[in-house]
Amino acid sequence: MVEKFIMAGDTPLHICDSEEGEKVVVLLHGYLENMLVWDDFVPLLYKDVRVVTLDIPGHGISVVKGEIHTMEYLADVVAAALDKLGIAKATIVGHSMGGYVALAFAEHYAERTESLVLLHSTPYADSDEKKKNREREISIIRSGKKEMLVHTAAEAGFAPENRNRFRTEIEDLEQTIYLTEDAGIIALLNGMIERKAQSEMLHALGKPILFILGRKDGYIVPEVAEKMVAEHPEAEVVWLENSGHMGFIEEAKTCASALLDFVKRA
């Protein structure tokens, strides 16, 4: 993987690119993560496909631009990054918040979307309750109490029975949250609050779609996941039986195998 900074339009962007492979997979990380979260997952992919990862603006060491990073702005950044890398089309894989960016990309750049993978993510807009929770998180950040997120968010992503086994990964995520700019967290929370529902777009997309879901996900609980699957018969579905919200870590080989199989057929 070659690590570098590029200009994606007018946005400086921190990326990694394996640079080789006919088919391209772009991995978009989730909220309170950065591209380093993929470090152990990428080696399971790059012998078969070209892999691009990036720090979504607001997280990692990409820039913060304003008080709201809409999903559409972030999709534009991804498209501009692909332009810079000379990539015409790609499979866009979005983990959690990254899935919301992937959906916006598919909506606005359908011709560049080879296929779409929602990894522990949904096409639904925030409920009123979820919006209030995000607004509370913004208040927590603005009041200088980010450590409250550190001690809950990182661990909550993993199924309870996996937390001891992945203690090192949880501690790495905690450190990532500590180092994430407050302004970037707020910009992305605001963007998620404002995002729209994308179910109708998915129905009309006409591209291969894959949902990868965790049976023990505490964020996308089984009832919501089952509802999503039932409402989207156009999507293929892979269930990770022993994963929470971080299946690409908790069941990395199973997740990678499912993804590669899908990409090769797409």
Q: What is the pLDDT of residues 92-130, one digit of tens each?
A: 999 999 999 999 999 999 999 999 999 999 999 999 999
What radius of gyration do the chain's Cα atoms show?
A: 17
221-264 per-position pLDDT tens digit: 999 999 999 999 999 999 999 999 999 999 999 999 999 999 99
How do 24-28 and 90-95 pair as beta strands?
A: parallel
**Which whole number is the average pLDDT over 184-207?**
98
- What CATH code is carried by the domain that includes residue 255? 3.40.50.1820
* 50-54 vs 11-17, strand pairing mode: antiparallel
Q: How much is the average pLDDT of 166-175?
A: 97
Signed CA dihedral, 92, 261, 42, 96: sign only: positive
- In the prediction, which pLDDT does 12 show? 95
Instruction: For residue 48, give the 3-state DSSP assignment.
Output: coil
* H/E segment holding residue 98: helix 97-108
Tens digit of each residue's pLDDT (9 = 90 or more) over 13-37: 999 999 999 999 999 999 999 999 9
Residue-range definition of the domain harbouring residue 97 = 2-265
> How many domains are contained in the chain?
1
At which residue do the structure tokens 């304003």 appear?
Answer: 66
**Per-residue pLDDT averaged across 125-144, rounded?**
96
